[in-house]
Amino acid sequence: MRVSIREGHVGVLIRMDIILRKAQEEGYGVAAPNVFDGDSVRSCFEAALELRAPMVIDAGQSVDLEYIADVTRFYAERYPEVPVSLNLDHGKSFDAACRAIRAGFTSVMVDRSQAPFEENVRETREIVKMAHAVGVSVEAEIGHVGQGANYSADRDAGLTRVEDAVEYVKQTGVDCLAIAIGTAHGKYVGTPRLDFDRLVAIRKAVSIPLVLHGGSSTGDENLARAVQLGITKVNLATDLMVAGAKAAKEFVTANEDPRLPQVVKAGMEGYKTELIRYMKLFGEENRW
Ligand SMILES: [Zn+2]
C-alpha cells in the first residue's frame, strides 16, 4: 500500500478529513451514503461524476469490508477524477478499526458513544494513535445519536454538551467529530427537533469538521440549516435504502415479466436519485 500522509492519499483513495476540511472551508456539506454491495458503491461514483462532487462512502461493520474496499478501489482507478474516501461507519472496537484499515479504508469511525466519557476517550485515543501512524483519519462520536424508534427517550438523553466536545477533541486528537443535536437513526417516531443553538455553540468551540448521523427523514429544511450552521458531513442510510426498494417495487408492478438485472438496476437508480437529491441540497455540485 502506498501511503502519503502529506497529500492525504492512501493508494487511490483520500483521507476523509481532507475532503471534509475543504468542504468546511468552502461552506458546503458532504452526503455520506451507506453502501452495502458493489452496485451501491458504483451508484455513489455515478452520483459524484454526475455532479462533479466529492464522495465519502460509509460502510458499516455488518457488510463485507474487504469486498467493499476492493470495489471502491476498482471504481476509484476507473474514475480517478473523483475525490473519494472510504470510511468505516460505527466501528465498535480496536479490532474492527484494524480490519478496515488493513482492507484499505482511509477513515474509521469509532463509536464508543455509549461508554462513560473517560472510557470513550481512552479507547478512541488508542485507535487515533494507530490510525494516524498509517495515514488514516478518525471520526468519533461524543454525546449519543440514538434510534428514531425510541426518539422521545433517546433525544434529550444523548445531546452533546459543548464542554464535552471541546475536551473530547483535545484529549483524543480525532479528525472529525460526530455530535448529537437531536437527530436519530432510522425513521422517527415523532417529529425531529434539532437543537441549532447547540450546533452553533459547538461549531464555535471546536475547529474540526462536524458530522451529523441520522440524516434520513430529518427533513430537507432541517438538514440544509444544519449544513449552513456548520455540519460538514451528513450520514444517510434509511432514505436511500427505502427509495431504492420503492423504485424496484414500482418497476416490478409496472412490468409483467421482470428479470432480476432489470429490477436491481431500477432499485439502484432509485438509490442514486435520492442520493443526488441530498447532495444538491448540501451544495456539493461542481466542487472539482
Ligand atoms: Zn450513525
Task: Tell me the CA–centroid distance for residue 110 and ligand 1, in Å.
Answer: 11
Q: Is the pLDDT of residue 5 over 80?
A: no
The residue-averaged pLDDT of 189-210 equals 97
The number of residues making up the chain comes to 288
**Residue 4 predicted with pLDDT over 60:** no
Letter for the amino acid at 157? A
**pLDDT for 134-153, tens place per residue?**
999 999 999 999 999 999 88
pLDDT for 7 equals 55
Q: Count up the domains in the chain and report the number.
A: 1
Q: Across residues 50-58, what is the average pLDDT?
A: 97
Query: Does some domain include residue 214?
Result: yes
22/176 Cα distance (integer angstroms): 13
**For residue 173, what are the contacts with CB-CB under 8 A and spacing of at least 6?**
125, 128, 129, 132
pLDDT in tens, 232-278: 999 999 999 999 999 999 999 999 999 999 999 999 999 999 999 99
- Rounded distance from Cα 148 to ligand 1 centre (Å): 11
Interval 1-9 mean pLDDT: 48
Query: How many angstroms separate the CA atoms of 68 and 59, rounded?
Result: 8
- Which pLDDT value is given to residue 11? 64
Instruction: Tell me which residue of 223, 221, 148, 212 sits closest to 180, measured CA to CA.
Output: 212
Residues above pLDDT 70, as percent of the chain: 96
Output the pLDDT for position 154. Answer: 85
Measured in Å, residue 254 CA sits from the centre of ligand 1 at 35
Question: Rounded to the nearest whole angstrom, what is the distance from the C-alpha of residue 240 to the centroid of ligand 1?
Answer: 14
So which residues are the catalytic ones? 89
Specify if 218 maps to a domain. Answer: yes
Residue 178: the pLDDT is 98
Closest CA to 56 of 231, 181, 179, 236: 236
Please give the C-alpha separations between residue 215 and each of 10, 21, 94, 224, 241, in angstroms, as whole numbers.
28, 20, 26, 11, 13
How distant, in Å, are the alpha carbons of 97, 119, 195, 257 from that of 202? 27, 22, 11, 54
Strand pairing class (84-91; 55-60): parallel
Query: Across residues 114-130, what is the average pLDDT?
Result: 96
As a whole number of angstroms, the distance between CA 241 and CA 208 comes to 30
Tell me the CA–centroid distance for residue 249 and ligand 1, in Å.
Answer: 27
How many whole angstroms from 100 Cα to the centroid of ligand 1? Answer: 17
CA of 258 to the centre of ligand 1 (A): 35
pTM, full prediction: 0.94
Residue 178 lies inside a defined structural domain of this protein: yes
Task: Quote the domain boundaries for residue 225.
Answer: 3-281
Closest to 231 (Cα-Cα) out of 259, 205, 264, 202: 202
Distances (CA, A) of 15 to 57, 104, 108, 164, 184: 11, 11, 10, 25, 26
The burial of 104, by beta-carbon neighbours within 10 Å (0-12 exposed, 13-18 middle, 19 or more buried), is given as buried
Residue 286, Cβ neighbours under 10 Å: how many?
Answer: 8
Say what the pLDDT of residue 12 is: 86
Nearest-angstrom CA–CA distance, 43 and 114: 33
CATH of the domain at 255: 3.20.20.70
Residue 1 has pLDDT above 70, yes or no: no
Residue 287 lies in a domain: no
For residue 286, being part of any structural domain is answered with: no
pLDDT recorded at residue 8: 57
Tens digit of each residue's pLDDT (9 = 90 or more) over 129-139: 999 999 999 99
Write down the pLDDT at residue 6: 46
Instruction: Give the pLDDT score at 9.
Output: 60
3-state SS, 228-264, equals: HCCEEEEEECHHHHHHHHHHHHHHHHHCCCCCHHHHH
Average pLDDT of span 88-111 = 96
Q: Calculate mean pLDDT across residues 193-218.
A: 97
Instruction: Name the packing angle between helices 238-254 and 260-281 (round to 10°).
Output: 140
Q: Please, what is the average pLDDT of the chain?
A: 95
Per the domain annotation, does 30 fall within a domain? Answer: yes
Percentage of the chain lying above the pLDDT 90 cut: 94
